[in-house]
Amino acid sequence: MKIIVAIKQVPERDARIRIDSSGKWIALDDIEFRMNESDAYALEEALLLREAHGGEVIVLSAGPERVGQTIREALAKGADRGIHILSDSLASYDALGVARLMAAAIRDEAADLILTGLQSDDLGLGQTGVILAELLAIPHSSLILKIEKTDTGIRVLRELEDGWFQQIEMPTPALLTIQSGNTRLRYATLMGIKKAKTKELRSVEAASLGVDAVPSVTLDSVALPSRQKSTQMLTGSPAEAAAKLVEKLQQEVRVL
């Protein structure tokens, strides 16, 4: 199987966030970056499929030069080669624009399967993968926990709401967006890190792909959440006060 995995480089979860001077995004100076979590699970699913059935795993990512580090991390974990869509202005593209860039970069690969994470940890739109499937005119499914190869294509396990699951049989080529947490992620070994330095990493300039960067959706501004303190006195008997406290924890704080 030839499997393409789309990954995104995102800020570390524990990074100290500041809004940049434009007020439209966060300041990226002095921030550490890492692979998007659900994309890491997509990569793991691809590697498991290759180990079981053979084939090739290709990693695809878009962004500035620093994104190459995240692609190399995926190569160190076992991916066979990488494609880097170079762009210092990726923020000017919306989900449709990014999907168009990816479609243009991989259309000639003729992959059997394309995997993406369910959503990104920074924007959380959950749109790029399914838009990419539509652009490539292939079937897709989301919230995937497990993939099995069959004689006619693939069988997937989807997570639904309220603890329900769904099994679907699909033809290939197909695109799947992967849910986090169903497998154990592997670490890059020392040998894998050494091999990654010699694996193919092809760079493609975004401008050469002929995709219009004018977005159909724009982000006007971002803001850090405001911190507020509030004190409420619960009256009544101890039993009544306890019942009110439980209700507030469930309905307002949503921790129960």
Which residues are paired to 35 by β-bridges? 9
Assess if residue 61 is contained within a domain.
Answer: yes
Same domain, 61 and 15: yes
* pTM reported for the whole predicted model: 0.85
Same domain, 43 and 76: yes
Assess if residue 218 is contained within a domain.
Answer: no
Whole-number pLDDT of residue 50? 97
Decide if pLDDT at 170 tops 90.
yes
pLDDT classification of 190: cutoffs 50, 70, 90:
very high
Assess if residue 250 is contained within a domain.
Answer: yes
Same domain, 178 and 82: yes
Question: For residue 242, what are the contacts with CB-CB under 8 A and spacing of at least 6?
Answer: none
Pairing of strands 174-178, 56-63: unpaired
- Domains in the chain: how many in total? 2
Decide if pLDDT at 176 tops 80.
yes
Asked whether 55 and 49 are in contact (CB, 8 A), the reply is yes
Same domain, 252 and 157: no
* Of 11, 27, 12, 19, nearest in space to 226 by CA: 19
CA quadruple 20, 24, 26, 28: dihedral sign: negative
Decide if pLDDT at 77 tops 90.
yes
Assess if residue 140 is contained within a domain.
Answer: yes
Same domain, 155 and 253: no
Decide if pLDDT at 229 tops 80.
no
Whole-number pLDDT of residue 162? 82
Same domain, 178 and 231: no
DSSP characters over 109-142: G--SEEEEESS-SSS----HHHHHHHHHT--EEE
Decide if pLDDT at 141 tops 80.
yes
Whole-number pLDDT of residue 117? 95
Q: Average pLDDT, stretch 200-207?
A: 96
Whole-number pLDDT of residue 26? 85
Whole-number pLDDT of residue 52? 96
Range of the domain at 254: 226-256
Decide if pLDDT at 30 tops 80.
yes
Same domain, 150 and 71: yes
Assess if residue 134 is contained within a domain.
Answer: yes
Assess if residue 234 is contained within a domain.
Answer: yes
